[in-house]
Amino acid sequence: MTRWKNRSTSFFAKTIRGLAAAALIAVGSATLPNATPAAHAVEVTVTHWGVLMYGAPYAVAIEKGFYRDAGIDVTGVLTSKGGGTTMRNVMAAGMPYGEVSLAAVVAAINQGIDLKIVHTGVQTVGEILWVTMPDSPVRTAADLNGQKVAFTSPKSVTDMLLTMVTDKHGVSVDAVAAGGIGAGLTMVEQGAVVAAPVMDPVWARFQDRFRPVFMVQDELPQMTQTVGVTTAEFARSNPDTLRALIAARKRGVAFVYENPEETADIVAKHYEMDRDLALRAINNLIELSYWGSGEFNLEAMDNMIGGLRIIGEVEGTVDWNRFVDASFLD
């Protein structure tokens, strides 16, 4: 694996530093009593809050009072870098519930933690695309054969997706670990690689400066990114609390699709980002049906596991019957 460390202070690197995370990949909180969740204010934890768009339904649910309507006083948002960090935060919280990457949940399951997956979150990786410079002769995935192509970091989702797409087209690339989305775009700008990955809201900011080579939504089947998870014990002891949390998020998802303009106002406020940028990113993601309302698509979950198996993050199969509990969904 070729590694390239970017030390540029280009416009792209500076701008993306506050916007992008290294890889894809959102709700732990403080203690809630079993019967009266509204008795204590809580904070939810949303992975990559303020950076990636997983948190839009949560921002809406807080701003519009959907949590209060469900009997939970959510007063703020904590954040983490995602993946295993978010999973550890969920497990350490007084209320062990969170929306985390499916990969992190499977890793915890493989460590022997008794978990229940109680809803899905983002059910696509279609927002990821590889881009190049507008005047580049590279126009399709097949054109990448023999070229240097960036991904974020080894065993990341972008590593997985690049491997899957190039295998699909039977091409060989010199894959370069850029270290992050911003670094990858800087490498494209400087000619160090011909293409690099990006996703919203970063793509919403720079889509006039780069040209897509391929979009994952056009190349690969649907894959579940995030799921809501809790411990088996908490699921047994707090079914009403789980139903309330899931119902509030579901209302938030519906609001995003029905009211993108107002959602952009809310996201811009909670994310401290430009409102027009938020709206462009939200509209891009609405086209992909990015946010799921919670229902399970086991085929999409299996597809993600298959990809993780390719990069060595998962071994064998996952028996969803042991870990999926759909009884908390409306």
Tokens 């590694």 correspond to what residue? Answer: 3
Residue 330 predicted with pLDDT over 50 = yes
- CB atoms < 10 A from the CB of 8, how many? 15
Over residues 97-122, the mean pLDDT reads 88
Q: What pLDDT digit, counting tens, does each position of 263-309 carry?
A: 999 999 999 999 999 999 999 999 999 999 999 999 999 999 999 99
Q: Write down the pLDDT at residue 29.
A: 33
The 10s digit of each residue's pLDDT in 148-204 is 999 999 988 999 999 999 999 999 999 999 999 999 999 999 999 999 999 999 999
Average pLDDT, the chain: 85
- The reported pLDDT for the residue numbered 44 is 73
| Structural domains in the chain plus CATH codes | 2-21+126-219 (3.40.190.10), 37-124+223-328 (3.40.190.10)
- What confidence tens digit (pLDDT) does each residue in 73-84 have? 887 777 666 566
Q: How confident is the model at residue 5 (pLDDT cuts 50, 70, 90)?
A: very low
Model pLDDT, residue 8: 40
Q: Is the dihedral of CA 164, 165, 169, 170 positive or negative?
A: negative
Per-residue confidence (pLDDT) for residue 50, from 0 to 100 = 84
Retrieve residue 216's tokens. Answer: 């994952």
Which residues are registered as beta bridge partners of 175? Answer: 149
- Highest mean pLDDT (candidates 103-112, 212-221, 229-238): 212-221
